[in-house]
Structure 1
Amino acid sequence: MNQTPEDFLAGLRAAKLVAIVRGTDRDAATAAALALMEEGFRYVEVALTTPDAPAAIAAIRASAPPGALVGAGTVLSVADVKDVVAAGAQFIVTPALADSIREAARRDLPVLAGALTPTEVHEGMNRGATLVKLFPAFIGGPRYVKALLDPFPSVPLVAVGGVGAADAAAYWDAGAAAVGPGSPLVGDAASPGGDLDALRARARDYLRTAAGHPRVDG
């Protein structure tokens, strides 16, 4: 199942969560991503800094439960976009204003474009981003999200970087469309010998927080 950028935006707003898996081992990253999906995460990204990331994406795509989408993160170049699309990625995420944004938009592929400053937020949307990934969000916190949305009320922001389960509600209250937990969620689970049971417990914490938070359409 693929989603148009419009459907992806609506789906991510409803889910309020996108998981970020940055592993040190392909098989461990695959297992971690699938565990997150089994617990109820609908959107899971695997960073290209993970060894053999395209193979992990392909394996996740083949085994993902219905309704769960796998994306590729740290996608920087046009060649990266081609590689991850061939592997089956259903959305991409960038850490910065990279060439990959326009290429993904050209392919009608949902893209979360990395940005931090107001100028970067504006430019990310101009390049065709579906949402803007505010990274690293912990630098400014929820107050910074709210400040950015004053001049850009229609820009869907995803707060990424240091967002724990206890922090998520403050970002949603500030107007973020979603949050993207990485290490606070995944921990050591994407490395050999990592604790998948602990990952599943943390995943349930995030999902309970999202389910209990009133949805605010924007």
Structure 2
Amino acid sequence: MGTPLEPREEQVLEVLDRLYDEYPDSTISLDFSNRLELLVAVVLSAQCTDERVNGVTADLFEKYRTPEDYATADVDELSDDIGSITYHNNKAKWLKSAAETIVEEHGGEVPDTMEELTELTGVGRKTANVVLQHGHDVVEGVVVDTHVRRLSRRLGITEEEYPKGIERDLMSIVPEADWQQYTHLLISHGRATCTAINPDCGDCVLEDVCPSSKLDHEVDLASGEPWG
């Protein structure tokens, strides 16, 4: 007999099973055609919607095609080019600096290791994970964005508060084969149903296994289990 699963592991498997059925085509929603575009898009997406990022990068990627283009750009002009993105002044500086490093230290190629990626200006572990997974087909961890943080905590999968702790916790209980899709599935569900302000518990495929559900349940007195 195998080792019994702990409650959180059972919860993860149930959540994955239902969300795979609900969102069979769930994947990254940023538009990109190469690793550089992916890196730029993910940096821009911090605290900004993917929809807005995609609107900006449609023109940006026509103007800036290589790391050298970003490295030699006038930072004020680059900032204007991404002007509708949150924190565009800082992100313009980050993109220029990261591109300079890519040109000077990596031969113009986006790095393929966590260590090298996180040494780039503006690139934290979350961004690096996305670039590795979708640019290099390397899955080293779980991408923890605002949806993954919110839903993982609401569903009782983790009690950690901050991304590093959440990722470490998730890596210990989410099957490694599901690390990448776990993020996409929770993002899809977070956007569609389990929103930050008014989650639609009445239309949620996870409602009956969610300890944070806002719905009241009658209880079967014989079993102690909720009905419905």
User: What's the TM-score, normalizing by structure 1?
Assistant: 0.28
- Larger strand share, 1 or 2: 1
Larger Rg: 2
